[in-house]
Amino acid sequence: MAEFPEEVRRWVKANWRGLFESELEGWYTDPTQWPKLTLKRFDEWFEVECHGVMIDTLGTPIEDDEAQD
């Protein structure tokens, strides 16, 4: 994924709010005290790096599509 910066940026544009909220939750748990969440502010506050780590951004059960039945 990191080999294709345009794909990474598309993914960030689709998922920035959940990432932002997750990071803020680790700092301060009262969302009423958070700043206004915008993509511009996300870009100002965070640097996106791609690593081989999975983060569940959907909150649904994770299924192994390669598992044998």
pTM given for the model: 0.66
pLDDT tens digits for range 3-17: 688 888 999 999 999
Distance CA 38, CA 50 (A): 21
Residue ranges per structural domain of the chain: 13-45
Whole-number Å distance between alpha carbons of 6 and 63: 27
Q: What angle do CA 54, 29, 50 make, to 5 degrees?
A: 25
The whole-number pLDDT of residue 62 equals 78
Tell me how far apart the alpha carbons of residues 54 and 31 are, in angstroms, rounded to a whole number: 25
Q: What is the mean pLDDT of each run of 10 residues along the chain (69 residues)?
A: 78 95 92 95 92 76 77
Q: What is the residue type of 26?
A: G
* Distance separating alpha carbons of residues 55 and 59, to the nearest angstrom: 10
